[in-house]
Structure 1
Amino acid sequence: MSKLKAIALSSLFGLLLSRLAFTQSSRMSTSNNVVDTLNKAAEANDLEGIRTYSKQVALLFVADYTDRAYVRLFADRLNEAEVMARHGERALVSEEQIANSFNDIMKRVGAPGSLRTNPETVHRYRNAILQGGNATRLISVKSNGHNSNPAEAVFLLYLLIFNNAAFNNAIPTGQTPVSNPHITLIQHQKSDPNVRNLLSTYSKSHSKSELSGLFNTVANELNF
């Protein structure tokens, strides 16, 4: 975990900080606690509360790979989009956009073709989180169907990265849905490289402007 993220998360996540060590043994409990924290933050309807929620999501998504200044810029962009979406002043983000954005990230960091996702997998992630009963404000699938709010979309990208793009890895509820022959889910093998390691390697071997370009592309693809 980067020093920047450790400092920033201490004020936003409090007790969660000690549980954000990304290890195989703690992956499930970490996901659960992150979901709980973000769901509580997503309940906010006032401008300051939405800003805090947007910062939390931005920290999860970019703080390990960029500097403090860029985290602020990304959080500001996300906050503006989240406020506008909640007021019906901008389009929501489709599951197809989320899948395409993740796949573009994978291409940029040199991930093998096996590390890709699709809209169906994104949709199942959203439903799986809701099955836990603790993310009714964070995940808007019941009200928005196959679309999501901007901060939710960025969180889903984080979740795909955290779980190596695959639905068969750890998910917040730990539940595997009943298989549906009409739905194709992306599933991967243990031999696939770790997505977070690929992103970390990319961040260490590329300039700040190139890293900003990577995440600016994500924001553009999600229309914020």
Structure 2
Amino acid sequence: MKIRFFIISILILSAYSCIKGLTEWTVDELYFQKIEGTSKVLYKYDAWGGRDSNANGFIILDSTDNFKIDLSKELPFYILSEIPNKSNINGITHECYNSCGENYYKISPIFKVIKTKNTVSNEINITTRIFQYRGYSEREHSLERYVFESFKETKDSIFFENLEDVESVNGIHLDKLRMRKGEVYLQENDKNQIVKIIINDASLNPKNKNIEQIRAVFLTPKYEINDSQFSERGIFRQVKTSK
């Protein structure tokens, strides 16, 4: 596992050195996740270009390809809703549907899926569920921050243990917190120690796929943990970029 991580990291870093020579984009953040059972990699990036243009999204490339920002290949969603696999990647996004700007309060929020878009990227089926902007905005969102003592990882989830809430005014203690894998981001220091874990979790109803909750959870380890303690499945690793 460590060898695969090393090879992919070398390829990404060499690719990034090529990107730096281009003036179109300055990459602020870059993460990669190996897609299980394939030679493909899912990248999440945030970059700035000329005239304050921003590129922020996902792209699929083969692990042997140099990373570059190609807006024509950007995947059409904001958030993953499931763990990517060799056959399918699922995500969600929103469109106005007469609920943007001055019309926001003139139309009732719709929480169900407005339409589903099926595309293909790099031989993987992409399913994007599109929601009304107001419905997406007013569905339950939460921002959570915790310090945790330990964790256990399963195939589809990470269980964090002995957590202290540092976001709320009257912080609470949690014995355990289960978070689904898929859009888990590991931030490391120069010693490959994890300094922060960021998890975006879009929970959909298993039957009708309507949004139930969208969570942004920031977790800081109380004790030292290393990158090698995590698997590849459903987890993004950080590529350190020069600012």
TM-score relative to the length of structure 2: 0.27
Kindly indicate which of the two structures has a greater share of residues assigned to helix: 1
Kindly indicate which of the two structures has a greater share of residues assigned to strand: 2
Which structure carries more relative contact order (alpha carbon 8 Å, separation 6+)? 1
TM-score relative to the length of structure 1: 0.29
